[in-house]
Structure 1
C-alpha cells in the first residue's frame, strides 16, 4: 500500500513538471463534504460522487492544454511514451491514482473533468466547461473547494480557475477497483514517507520550484505541514539556466546535437517542517544538466537512434556545498528513485539520467540477457555521466578559487571525487573513464606561490608512509612549498587511481632541496627536528652532509661534516661549557635510534672499549702531556704509561670537581664525519677543554 501511495504523489509532481508548473501543493482534506444522497439528486450523479470528502487535493499553477486533456482521458495508455523530454513517460500513468480513489475530479482553466472508471468504457470520462454546469453542481464545487488554493465563488462566477486542481476522494469501503481503504493516518504516513525525498526532489527538474504539504481537519482553515522550495536569492539565476537549457532541448528535438551542451548552476533548497519549533533548513548544491552530442561510441549512437527505445542521452549530477557527510549518492530519473539500497550508487554525488527502469519504476533495469535497455544504462554510466561529472568538478574547482582555495574548500572539492572502494558494483564502470578525464585537467591544488592548480604531470605528490608522524609530514610538506616545489596533498582514494608515475617527496629529495638554500635554518627547533627525523630515512646518510640539522646540547643545530661534535648520551653535564660540541641528550627515541644505527656502521663508528670508573679517572689524571689547549691533540700518539690511581685517590685529587661513573658500561659515540666517539684518547681532550673554559687562566693548575 505504501508504494502505491508514494507513486501517486510522484505522478502528480510529474504531471506538474511536464505542464511547466512552478508550484505543487498537496492538501489532506479531512472534512466530510457533500452528502451522497444530495449528490445523487444532481445531474450526472455517477460522476459527481467525486465531489465528496475526505480526500486529497493537489494543486499546481499551470493549466491543462488541449493535448493534456486528451492525454489524461487515455486511461489505458500514456501519450507521453514517445516524448523524449517528458518526465511522465516513465510514470505508471495517471491510472495509478486509483490505488486510493474510485473516482476523481480535475479543474483547470475553464474546464472540469470527472472520471469514474466504474462506468462503461465510453462513459468513464465526463469533460465539461465550468460555464455549462448548473447551479447545484456549482454549489457542490463551492462546498468542497471554497478557500482551497485560490478557489472561490469568484472563480465560479468567472467560470475560470487560474491553475489546476486534482481531487481524489479517499476510498472508504472496498470496491471493484481495490479492496484497499484509506484513512487520515494512511495519508499522514504518505506525507512522512515523502518528506525525505521531497528535500532533493527539485534538483533535476526543469520547472518546479516549490512543493508544499497541508492538512485540514474540521475547521475551514488549512495548516501547512512541510514545504520545500528553491531559495529566493538564487531563483532568478536558476530560472535563467533552466530556461536556456530547455530551449536547447526543444531545439534539439529528436535529433542528436552536433556537440554536447550543458547547464551549470548553484541551487539553494530550503525546507521547513512546521511545528512549534519550526525553522528553515537550507542546503546548497551545484547542479549540472548535460546532453550528449558529437562524438560517441557506435553502441551509444545505435541506441540513441533506436525508435523503439526513444531514449535521450540526457543526464545530470548534483553535489552538495553543505552537509556533504549526510549525502549518499542517489539515482534519479528526474525524480529520485525510492530511497533504498538499490538506489544508492556509492558515489559522493546524486546522478540523474533517462535510465531504463524496471516496470515498478523503483530501480534501474539490469537483466541477464544484456538487452538493449541494459546496454543503454551501461552507456549512460560509462560514457555520458563521466562527462557531466567532469563539468561538475570543473565548476567545483572554480568554486574553490572564488573561496581563495581555503583548506576546507579544497578538501571539500576532493571529497566530490569518487572512491572506487565505496562505489557499488553497477557503477564502478563510471570510475575509470572519469579519472582518465580528470588526469588530463589542471585539477590538483598546490599551495605553492600562494596557491595554484596543476596538471597531474607537474605535481610532486606528498605521499608518506603510515608510520611517519603527522607533524613531521606537515613540516616536510611546508618545506617543499617554501622551496617553491609543486607539492600536492591528495586523499588516498585519488592517489590509488594514478596510472602514470609522478615524483613524490622523499628523504633524499628533501636533503637535496635543503642544500639549495639555508631557508630552513630559520625554522623553529621543533621543525628542524622534524626535518632531521625525515632525512634520517634517507637511503644513504651521506646526503646529510653539510645540513645544519645536528641538534647540539646548547639548543643550536650544527652542520654535519664540519666541526667535531661529540655524542655522549646522559653524560653531557660532566662537560660544562662544551654543550655546543655535544649532541643534545634530549632526543626523540626515533632520532636516537637512527644515530645509533649510524654508529653501528664500520666506516662511520669506532666502538670504545669498556671503561670502568678507574679507567676514566686514569685518563683524567695520568695522561696529561705538554699539548696546549689551542693545538689539536694527536690522537695517534701513544700516551706514556703511568700508574693508575684508585677511584678514592682520584676523588681526593679532584677536590671540588666531582665526576661520577657509577656503572660499568660501554659508551658508543657515532662518528659521521664530524660526529665523534668519546674514546680513551678523546676523553682527556674534553676534560682539558672543560677546565680551560671554566677556569680561564689557570686551567692546568685546576686540573692538577
Structure 2
C-alpha cells in the first residue's frame, strides 16, 4: 500500500546536468594532449587551408606595442601587448568560421568531409603561446579570453564601431596592428579588413592557464620546425600556394612591418596547371555534399616547389602528384559502410607524391594533408609520400593502427582502425597502381627511356623496408598490376610490356667472370628476347617467382629451339 501512495504523490524527480570543470582546466587538458612544438603552426595552416586561402604569412613581431598595464578604464590593453606572433591569410571568416572558433571540443567543420582541421581542438593549441588570441577578419574583431567569466570569454566587436565601445582604446589596437599586413587607420574607417589576421601576444609571465613563458627563442623553434618540412608542406593541400615567414625586430618601426625570413611557394612554371587541377577536383568534391560519387574522382599534376631562405638561397624540388576520391562503384561493402558512417565522417580520399629527383636518402612520409610530425610512426617505408583522410590519434600526430595485442587476439574492431586499413587496401592500392601506369605512359616525354624505366622501378616498394602496418598494401597492389605494362625492355627499340611477356634478368643471379654476363646479354639481344632487368625488391614485391627468368638453362633452351 505504501508503494501505491508514493506513486500517486506530487514529488518530482530532480534533474541536473553534469558539473563541468572551469574553462581554464579544460584548456589545460587540451594543451596536455597537444605538445608545444611545430604542430601549432600546422593547426593554423590547416585553418587557412579550410578557409580557402591561397596565401599565408606568419610574422614574429618583436615590437613591444602596448606596454601600459590594463586598468579599469582600459581593460582591453593587455590584448594588444607585444611581442606577438601574427598569422595572416587572404581568406575571410564565414559565419560558420566565427561559430567554429568559439567551440571548445567540437567544431562546425566536424562533419564537413572537405575540411582538413575538422576537429576544432587543434586550434586551441595556440594557448601554449598566449592567453589572449585576437582575430580580425572582414568587419569583426574577436578576443578570446579564458580568464573572463564564462559568459564573457568571447568578445566580438565591429571594426567600424571600435572607437564607440566603452573602455576600448583605438590607439592600443593601432599600436599592435598598424602597418601589419596592410592594416591601418583606413581599415577602421572603412570597417573592413580583406583577409584574416590572428594575433597571439606572447605569454611573458606565468598565468593560471600556463607557466609556459614564450619568447623569441621559442618562436625560432616553431619557425625551424616549419622550415624542416616546408619543401613538402604544399604537396597535398587543395588551396594554399605559398607560405611566408617574416620577422620584425625594429622596435621603433611603425609601417610596412615584417621582413621576409623564409618562403615556400609553388613555382610559376607549374602554378597554373596545379591551380586548375586542384580547383576542378575541389569543386567536384564540394558538389557532392555529404554523398559519395558513383565513379572515382582523380587528378594528377607535376608540381615544382620553390624554397627561399633569408639570404636568398633558392632551391627547387619537382614532384609528381596524384589524388583519388574513391567512387562508390569501386568500393567494397565494408568501405561503403564506413564512408557513410557519421560517427567517422571521413572521405575515401588518398594521394601519392614522388620526388622526381629520386634522392637516395628519400623516406616516404605519411600526411593528413600536411605531414605528420616526423617520427618512426609517420614513416611508411614506401618510396613515395602518402596522403589520406586517415583517422589519427587525439593529438593528430599518428595514424591509428591496431596494437600488437589487438592483432594477436583479433580484437581490433575500432571503426577508425578499420577505416585506415580499408583506405590503404582499397584506395591507396588503386591510386598507387594508377600512378605507376600513368608514369609509364608519360615515358614518351623522356629521351632516355632506360633512365625513366629505372625511375619507375624505384616507385615500386621494397617489402623489406616498408613498415608492418603498410604491408597490407601489397596483395591488392600486386593484383591490380597483374596484367599491366609496367616493365621496360630494350627489345625492338624499347617498349613497355606486362610480366607475362617478359623474360626477367637479375644480374646478381648470373654467374660472374669469364665474360659470362656479356655473352648472355648478346645472346638475348640476338634472339630478340623481351628482356627486363629487374631489381631484387621488384622481383619480391611483385611476386615474379613464377615468371620466366634468364638462367643458363633458359639460354640453352632458347638456343636449342632456334
What is the TM-score of this pair, normalised by structure 1?
0.70
Shift of 1:73: 1.8
Structure 1 alignment gaps of length 5 or more: 518-704
Shift of 1:119: 0.7
Give the distance between the partners of 1:99 and 1:302, measured in 2 at CA. Answer: 39
The CA deviation string for residues 606-661 of structure 1, in whole angstroms up to 9 with x for no partner, is xxxxxxxxxxxxxxxxxxxxxxxxxxxxxxxxxxxxxxxxxxxxxxxxxxxxxxxx
Q: Which residue of 2 aligns with 1:92?
A: 121
The 5-angstrom pairing of residues 77-156 of structure 1 reads: 77-90=106-119, 92-134=121-163, 137-156=169-188
Structure 2 alignment gaps of length 5 or more: 1-30
Conserved? CA contact 2:323–2:349, under 8 Å: yes
Larger Rg: 1
Give the distance between the partners of 1:469 and 1:218, measured in 2 at CA. Answer: 71
Query: CA 1:213/1:180 → structure 2, altered by over 3 Å: closer, same or farther?
Result: same
Give the distance between the partners of 1:236 and 1:77, measured in 2 at CA. Answer: 36
Give the distance between the partners of 2:510 and 2:557, measured in 1 at CA. Answer: 23
Conserved? CA contact 1:28–1:187, under 8 Å: yes
Name which of structure 1's ranges 104-113 and 464-473 shifts more when overlaid on structure 2: 464-473
Conserved? CA contact 1:230–1:268, under 8 Å: yes
Structure number with greater CO (CA < 8 Å, separation at least 6) is 2
Give the distance between the partners of 1:360 and 1:335, measured in 2 at CA. Answer: 14
Q: Which residue of 2 aligns with 1:484?
A: 528
Shift of 1:499: 4.9
Alignment partner of 1:133: what SS?
A: helix
Q: Which residue of 1 aligns with 2:361?
A: 326
Q: Which residue of 2 aligns with 1:261?
A: 297
The 5-angstrom pairing of residues 512-591 of structure 1 reads: none
Say whether 1:395 aligns with 2:438: yes
Give the distance between the partners of 1:428 and 1:280, measured in 2 at CA. Answer: 37
Q: Which residue of 1 aligns with 2:378?
A: 343
The CA deviation string for residues 299-354 of structure 1, in whole angstroms up to 9 with x for no partner, is 21221122211121111111110143232111111111100111001100111111
Q: Which residue of 1 aligns with 2:71?
A: 40
Q: Which residue of 1 aligns with 2:210?
A: 178
Give the distance between the partners of 1:13 and 1:303, measured in 2 at CA. Answer: 28
Q: Which residue of 2 aligns with 1:287?
A: 321
The 5-angstrom pairing of residues 181-192 of structure 1 reads: 181-192=213-224
Shift of 1:90: 4.4
Name which of structure 1's ranges 498-507 and 158-167 shifts more when overlaid on structure 2: 498-507
Choose from 365, 376, 388 the match for 2:400.
365
Query: CA 1:412/1:373 → structure 2, altered by over 3 Å: closer, same or farther?
Result: same
Query: CA 1:492/1:319 → structure 2, altered by over 3 Å: closer, same or farther?
Result: same
Alignment partner of 1:87: what SS?
A: coil
Alignment partner of 2:240: what SS?
A: coil
The 5-angstrom pairing of residues 137-536 of structure 1 reads: 137-219=169-251, 220=253, 221-275=257-311, 278-293=312-327, 294-367=329-402, 368=406, 369-370=411-412, 371-464=414-507, 465=509, 467-469=511-513, 472-496=516-540, 497-499=542-544, 501-510=546-555
Query: CA 1:59/1:471 → structure 2, altered by over 3 Å: closer, same or farther?
Result: farther
Give the distance between the partners of 1:492 and 1:500, measured in 2 at CA. Answer: 11
Shift of 1:76: 4.2
What is the TM-score of this pair, normalised by structure 2?
0.86
Conserved? CA contact 1:90–1:361, under 8 Å: no
Shift of 1:470: 10
Give the distance between the partners of 1:40 and 1:475, measured in 2 at CA. Answer: 92
Query: CA 1:458/1:470 → structure 2, altered by over 3 Å: closer, same or farther?
Result: farther
Shift of 1:450: 1.1
Give the distance between the partners of 2:502 and 2:112, measured in 1 at CA. Answer: 48
Q: Which residue of 2 aligns with 1:65?
A: 94
Conserved? CA contact 2:242–2:263, under 8 Å: yes
Give the distance between the partners of 1:34 and 1:323, measured in 2 at CA. Answer: 51
Shift of 1:94: 2.4
Alignment partner of 1:324: what SS?
A: coil
Conserved? CA contact 2:105–2:120, under 8 Å: no
Superposed CA RMSD: 2.2
Shift of 1:263: 0.6
Query: CA 1:24/1:474 → structure 2, altered by over 3 Å: closer, same or farther?
Result: farther
Give the distance between the partners of 1:436 and 1:463, measured in 2 at CA. Answer: 22
Give the length in aligned residue pairs.
512
Give the distance between the partners of 1:310 and 1:203, measured in 2 at CA. Answer: 23
Conserved? CA contact 2:66–2:77, under 8 Å: no
